[in-house]
Structure 1
């Protein structure tokens, strides 16, 4: 007797319905492959929204977690532990920044960035108290806290969660003129995703990010890059900003930083920015805990070799070629940067959800977003043959 139907029913019965998962129940995983409770294997083409860039149960990361579990897992930041300095130093060096502030989730990193930018605006730039504003882009996805959804343009994420936090100006994504016009004397930061993941892997026009960097420098405004999904090897570079040689004032990191084992996020910036925080002004009980740091420092060391960035760039070209071959054959458009793709299906054929359900039947797990768009973001350990398998399954779905 199959176990999946009952397990799905139990999940639906006892869980708040804030997600609409595919009807698959995973029990184990390794590398790029998942196995459900009935023994069926699936190729993971979501990778936990980039939290599993290094695949499931990467041996080096698992070994670091096991070793730390036997010694020390939590102290809180009331004390210093022996994994903390190594993690902060090596991540700061990877980012080319002076300092790191560890947190847990991506949303916490974004909230931290907002708080730091406002404090910097008041203490360094001289913005009048309570008047700081931050410019953001429509189509953004930075998390789901009440402050973050206050500047979301996705009504599913925003509706009925007011009253909303003020202090944000929304401009069209990719429109440098609109962004420039929105900056005034009270603007303390521009907060952007270098590539909008939730929106469907939307890559901005060439020259946009360098333009944002330039105007932020000229107008004394912080450029905050939310690289929580796009960073740490996903796009074929360490950071998506690297594709155009752009260095933001602040990196917001998460997801892959925890190696698919523990939630880890961080803010990286120079001392003239993060230095505005003093003891007692911001913190987290679990942020920078020993277990998180032990895993995350190994993530940073994997990235320092450049191997995963190269794999993403090279295999991403194979993914691009396969997907572009399906344009006009059920696909309307594809957008690919490294091993990250937004795939627009002809809405006359099916919705994105329907496409993902049909891919699931063929042993491929992916995630839909916004109508007939699906996202493909396999672990960076995927092989050429596995990429071909995923593309072939999509072709079959489109023509079935």
Structure 2
């Protein structure tokens, strides 16, 4: 393993961290809110231009054919489902705590199911748009090399840092494609980093009663130093690839499985969650939702978790040595679990107001929001309008 510093990576990483820390210190509205209002539209526009540019490349049609041609045999591979779960969990911020954190900033009467549908469909629509642009570019690359799209298509790190630089160097107008693709990649990474940091910052701020700047610096500076040490060297891609494979496609799946089992089967809180969702939502959920969350999700996640566990134990990921996987794969997962447990054990500070929310108590009183003593479910007033129950 080489620890040689790469300035072309390290310096931009420092700039990104400084920008993110400033945004986080400014708070939710002035920092995160304003940053997303700028970065997200820019990200969408850049990818839209990238798609249009890519569609006019020679061989783009071959790439689109490969993109929209299903491979039904792949559905029998558990690794495909595991990757899909890991991907959608990451892109929708499921099992990261991000949705819970951002939901805590919503107004009391926000349409929860409607907002959820908007987020899910917007995310899927954007990913289809991005896929069109990426595969059109891969079709050009395949034609230039005289091979099939499957021969040049890769995923994750290989796509971003191997395939696309080749496309940029060969395509007419490749510099424009490069600026659009890597610019969008930076914006997407920055917004994701902000969201992940906000989970930790918000939790510690609520629990310890610290102010925003102190909490942000306490969380961000150590993480910035660690990321600089790991991801600004010549072996950064290998470290990133391994950590991503274990934490995203494996660790996140385990977190989701535990969360579903605890909420649905140990605490029996699905009825309460269902009624809470239906309280102020335009689209009601019912037994099908409870079946999907309480039965199907744990079964599928459990199967995928065991399959991934066996695969990770029996086959060295990526051909990396055992010590490397032990440190940056298993070690990363175990370290995050230990850190999460330690943070949860921190005592509540007397300065924290998170446990005593007078505004929320008033809201419950005004809404007659009384949970059932046996099921903890919240009765819904008969006069309220509801969407179609599933």
| TM-score for the superposition, normalised by structure 1 | 0.28
- Structure in which a larger fraction of residues adopt helix: 2
**Which of the two has higher C-alpha Rg?**
2
| TM-score for the superposition, normalised by structure 2 | 0.28
Bigger relative contact order, structure 1 or 2, given CA contacts below 8 A and separation 6+?
A: 2
